[in-house]
Amino acid sequence: MGLIGSYRLRMRRRRLIARAVLRRKDLVPVAQRTESLRPDAILLFATLRNERVRLPYFLKYYRDLGIDHFLFVDNDSTDGSRDYLAAQPDVSLWTTPASYRKSRFGMDWIMSLLRAHGHNRWCLTVDVDEFLIYPFCETRPLRALTDWLDASSIRTFSAMMLDMYPQGPIQDQPYREGQNPFEIAQWFDSGNYTFTRNWPYGNLWIQGGPRSRTFFASRPRQAPALNKIPLVRWDRSFAYVSSTHMLLPRGLNLVYDRAGGEKTSGCLLHAKFLDTFALKAQEEMARGEHYAESREYKAYLNGLAEQPDFWCKWSEKYINWRQLEILGLMSTGNWA
Amino acid sequence: MRLGFVMLTHTALDRAAQVARYWASNGCPVVIHVDRRTPAAEHDALRAGLADLANVRFSPRHVCEWGTWGLVAATQAASSMMLAEFPEVQRVYLASGSCLPLRPVGELQSYLDQHPRTDFIESVTAADVDWTIGGLNSERFTLRFPFSWRKHRVLFDGYVRLQRRLGIRRRLPEGLVPHLGSQWWCLTRQTLSAILDGPGRAAYDRFFRKVWIPDESYFQSLVRIHSTNIESRSLTLSKFDFQGKPHIFYDDHLQLLRRSDCFVARKIWPQADKLYETFLSPEAASQPRAEPNPGRIDRLFSKAVERRLTGRAGLYMQSRFPTRERENGRTAAPYSLFQGFAELFEDFETWLSKSAGTRVHGNLFAPDRVQFAGGVGIYNGCLSDSTALRDYNPRAFLASLIWNTRGERQCFQFGPDDAQKITEFIAGDPNAQVSVITGAFAIPLFRSNLNFGIIRTEAARLQRIESEFLSVLRAPTSKARVRIWNLAEFLENPIEPLQTIVDEINPRSPHRLSEVPRLVDLTGFGQFLQNLRNQGMKPVLMGDFPVNGPSPTSGRRARSKQ
């Protein structure tokens, strides 16, 4: 990449950071408990809107992994999410009625919080339907991973998004509050992913999975991106470019080995396809606040009307991280 | 015999205190060195926490930056203190704050008793070492390293290059043969005191002060001068990865550590509560133990390093995306491509899957849909039969198919009418077995009921595409196992090629082919080709067919020559 290219990316990064600083004014604090955070606390950042039913299990899952503090942006929920979160002792909460779309789909808000609280800390940025799986996650807390990443001088950790789905129409098994969503959505696609390098950012662009083969089979280019870099030892000068798909400076996107080796990586189990989904899709369509004119949701609604079952004979039933490792969806790398 | 421990610590002092207490209360004196960069509060807390133990001392603090003299100075000071203050100590064991004893001190003592006057220290001639990181072996001793590797990498590297170019070399002190080895040793009083109080120490110290990573060479070299009996291995189980950073042990390594029968392990993750609890509990003793045997741990860690460096062949994923030619295997397993066979033989796919015992697909790259075996719409790994998805990234499609079906060989048909974007990938793949009967694309046209004008255009188009495919296969960069016959040549003796291919696919089936596929009826094919010529096209890929005579085996079952 030439000087001009590098300069453009630098300006892009500056602009993204400036946006985040500007959007900071959108956020109204509801509960702030960040004062007593230790310098080595592991933080989780998330934006949400009307996800009350998912929250108890989400919090439990990440508390068990070893998240020290949660920082949420509530985008004008009306279902009690705000009060529920505000009452949690390890949650700091901001709320805003501003436009999700105009805030780069929440990333401006998240980045302003990352700047304020994430500097020099390990920060996990996820949605409330994304659950991080990493090598040895059953026996080693998240801090074991971040300590190891620190010792290896690695600043970013890749976790590809794995869409999970139930067997049978998604409306058939209602999700109960507090339930592990993967008791219902326990299936996934194991080997239909495509990888391309995304210049000039240098990240991998991953597509595929059930959404791609059902909703986007005739226009694969528009299928959603599955590459994610959710866990970063944050620095004020970093910027998420598009969701958590890629970062600037672009060296942070080099989470893959180019010489044949495997770097350590994980997966984000995506519990989107529960019975709550159809409702959500309709609501989001009406709001029109999502990426690319909510193209994704349009496709879903059409698809859901015709073919509401992702499951097929070759669907793989989720067991544990080791299974994902063997299938080649994630890797232990040299972490043993 | 009394054993004393020297501990070098810098972080996680609570764990260091726990281990020191364990050793001290089991009758072993402990001298602790705390890095001078460690905050005073932590240091004071450590001292206060161990104040009740009479046989624990704290040595003068040095700054211990990795790769510098400070570590050796700290070790010297602490060892001298050990020898001076605990005259009954006969052996000194050098450990770190992240070490954990895996077997009771008593067992270590009796093991040492069985090896009297032996110094356990890994000490390898620097000239023979190939495991150091960064390519500095003997140059560690002959160059100077005034710049910090951690803080001023550019200066460090630049100064090394400069010295290499100018040919500057340091003179080694008389009698010193550079040796390298693990930092963690167990020496006898005699050897250690000879090193610390020997007449040449000032000269050696002056030399080693400027050596790179002296903690891996100071004692390892001097012990060769002073010791009479060296056992060149460390009693501390410590493994390093490809970046020279120690592997870390966690709770889930408990059984492995237990079965290793090693005495001390490092490095332990400070929050591995179960490990500390288990190995520092009084009941940790028990069953009779054997010699230290870290074999299984070695294998675990070397497999991890291999995974990091070489990876799994044929896998493309979020953290493995090799650039071209560095794939270390473009695909995961051997597979076969057949061009022209399904046109020439009736029901070739069924026959092949029976004779070779493999999975046989139709034309995976067909223009209308992916023809998976059995005509299914979704295949292994949830691969879709959508041509749009396949053609969006044909390499990923094929690589995924081969990866998903590891353990079962895949065969598929290919032809000039198929999507051709994949050809270069296949030709460059050593896993590909490619068999082509050129010109066979004309057979379906010959048997079709189309107008001859359309047939002629189509034949010319297919011939052009097939020629391009052939030149890709014949290119010097091609790595596939390629076999090419023209149609006429193949028909002279169809059995032998089939036998060869089937043997290669399934080497365990020793039998001659019992059943051969049925050839389609080619009566009049020669005339058909002539008609094409008469219409102005030049069919070249079929070979020489007599215009009027029947084709060599037309209408009959192909038969082996033997």
Contact A259 B301 (CB under 8 A): no
The reported pLDDT for the residue numbered B545 is 85
Question: What CATH number does the domain containing B392 carry?
Answer: 3.40.50
- Which two three-digit tokens encode residue B211? 């050596």
B378 touches chain A (CB under 8 A): yes
DSSP 8-state symbol, A252: G
* ipTM value: 0.93
Cβ contact A265:A158 at 8 Å: yes
B408 touches chain A (CB under 8 A): no
Question: What CATH number does the domain containing B303 carry?
Answer: 3.90.550
Closest residue to A139, CB basis, from B250, B307, B316: B250
Sheet of A28-31: strand order equals A28-31, A91-95, A69-74, A43-48, A122-125, A231-233, A156-157
Q: Are both B372 and B489 inside the same structural domain? A: yes
- How confident is the model over B32-75, as pLDDT tens digits? 999 999 999 999 999 999 999 999 999 999 999 888 899 999 99
Nearest partner of A31 among A75, A78, A77, A73, judged by Cα: A73
DSSP 8-state symbol, B328: S
CA distance B418 to B322: 27
At residue A204 the predicted structure's pLDDT band, cuts being 50, 70 and 90, is very high
Residue B545 in 3-state DSSP? coil
Q: Are both B351 and B435 inside the same structural domain? A: yes
Contact B250 A314 (CB under 8 A): no
The reported pLDDT for the residue numbered B143 is 83
Diameter of chain A measured on Cα atoms: 56
Please name the residues between 281 and 340 in chain B that touch chain A, using a CB distance below 8 Å: 300-301, 303-305, 307-312, 315-323, 326-328
Contact B319 A314 (CB under 8 A): no
The reported pLDDT for the residue numbered A169 is 84
Contact A257 B318 (CB under 8 A): no
**In Å, how far are A151, A251, B146, B182, B207 from B213, measured between CA atoms?**
18, 30, 12, 11, 12
How many Å lie between the alpha carbon of A250 and the closest alpha carbon of chain B? 16
Cβ contact B16:B277 at 8 Å: no
Nearest partner of A68 among A93, A95, A45, A94, judged by Cα: A45
Cβ contact A44:A63 at 8 Å: no
- How confident is the model over A138-187, as pLDDT tens digits? 999 999 999 999 999 999 999 999 999 999 888 888 999 999 999 999 99
B249 touches chain A (CB under 8 A): no
* Topology at the third CATH level for domain A3-326: Spore Coat Polysaccharide Biosynthesis Protein SpsA; Chain A (3.90.550)
Cβ contact B542:B486 at 8 Å: yes
Q: Are both B405 and B494 inside the same structural domain? A: yes
Contact B320 A260 (CB under 8 A): yes
- How confident is the model over B134-185, as pLDDT tens digits? 556 777 888 888 887 778 888 888 888 888 888 888 888 888 898 988 899 9
Measured between beta carbons, the chain B residues lying within 8 angstroms of A335 are: 304
What residue type is A127 in one-letter code? D
Between A and B, how many CB-CB pairs are < 8 A?
176
Contact A330 B269 (CB under 8 A): no
Quickly tell me which residue has 């180019």 as its tokens: A258
How many Å lie between the alpha carbon of B255 and the closest alpha carbon of chain A? 13
Nearest CA in chain A to B381: A191
Give the list of residues 6+ apart from residue B265 with CB closer than 8 angstroms, or none.
B99, B100, B102, B236, B237, B238, B249, B257
Nearest CA in chain B to A229: B318
Contact A141 B383 (CB under 8 A): no
Closest residue to B307, CB basis, from A139, A204, A262: A262
Measured between beta carbons, the chain B residues lying within 8 angstroms of A261 are: 307-311, 320
Closest residue to B386, CB basis, from A218, A261, A312: A218
Contact B392 A221 (CB under 8 A): yes
Give the list of residues 6+ apart from residue A188 with CB closer than 8 angstroms, or none.
A162, A163, A164, A165, A209, A210, A269, A315, A316, A318
In a domain, B480, yes or no: yes
Closest residue to A329, CB basis, from B241, B301, B317: B317
Q: Are both B358 and B506 inside the same structural domain? A: yes
Q: Are both B401 and B295 inside the same structural domain? A: no
The reported pLDDT for the residue numbered A87 is 96
Closest residue to A139, CB basis, from B252, B271, B303: B252
Q: Are both B472 and B399 inside the same structural domain? A: yes
Q: Are both B78 and B12 inside the same structural domain? A: yes
The reported pLDDT for the residue numbered B557 is 44
Residue A317 in 3-state DSSP? strand
DSSP assignment of B119-168 equals EE---EEGGG----GGG-STHHHHS---S-TTT-HHHHHHHHHHHHHHT-
Residue span of the structural domain in which B423 resides: 335-534
Contact B317 A330 (CB under 8 A): yes
Block means of pLDDT (10 residues each) for chain B, 562 residues, are 92 95 95 95 95 95 90 96 95 96 92 94 82 66 81 86 86 87 94 92 91 90 92 91 88 92 93 94 68 88 93 95 87 96 94 90 96 94 96 96 95 96 95 96 93 93 96 95 94 90 82 81 92 91 78 45 37
Q: Are both B344 and B303 inside the same structural domain? A: no
A94 C-beta neighbours (distance < 10 Å), count: 21
Residue A313 burial (10 A CB sphere; 0-12, 13-18, 19+): exposed
What residues does A19 pair with on adjacent strands?
none
The reported pLDDT for the residue numbered B292 is 84
Per-residue b or e along B86-106, where b marks 16 or more CB atoms closer than 10 Å to that residue's CB: beebbbbbbbbbbbbbbbbbe
The reported pLDDT for the residue numbered B558 is 43
Contact A213 B386 (CB under 8 A): yes
CA B136 and chain centroid, separation: 23
DSSP 8-state symbol, B378: E
What's the total number of domains in chain B?
2
Domain closes at, from B309, B324, B350:
B309
Contact B320 A256 (CB under 8 A): yes
Residue A292 has pLDDT above 50, yes or no: yes
Please give the torsion angle defined by the CA atoms of residues A119, A122, A125 and A130, in that order, rounded to the nearest 10 degrees.
-170
Please give the torsion angle defined by the CA atoms of residues B484, B486, B492 and B495, in that order, rounded to the nearest 10 degrees.
30
Closest residue to A194, CB basis, from B241, B381, B392: B392
Domain locations in chain A as residue ranges:
3-326
In a domain, B159, yes or no: no
How many Å lie between the alpha carbon of B508 and the closest alpha carbon of chain A? 28
Nearest CA in chain A to B254: A139
**In Å, how far are A240, B186, B409 from B397, measured between CA atoms?**
30, 57, 16
What residue type is B7 in one-letter code? M
CA distance B534 to B531: 5
The reported pLDDT for the residue numbered B287 is 62
- Which two three-digit tokens encode residue A279? 């409702």
Q: Are both B41 and B183 inside the same structural domain? A: yes
Taken as a whole, chain B contains a residue count of 562
Q: Are both B508 and B454 inside the same structural domain? A: yes
Give the list of residues 6+ apart from residue B415 with CB closer than 8 angstroms, or none.
B339, B340, B342, B343, B363, B441, B462
Interface test with B, best of A40, A207, A257, A322 (most B CBs within 10 A): A257
Residue A191 in 3-state DSSP? coil
Q: Are both B289 and B339 inside the same structural domain? A: no
How many Å lie between the alpha carbon of A189 and the closest alpha carbon of chain B? 6
CA distance B245 to B239: 8
Contact B389 A212 (CB under 8 A): yes
In a domain, B319, yes or no: no
The reported pLDDT for the residue numbered B132 is 59
Contact B310 A144 (CB under 8 A): no
Closest residue to B378, CB basis, from A160, A219, A312: A312
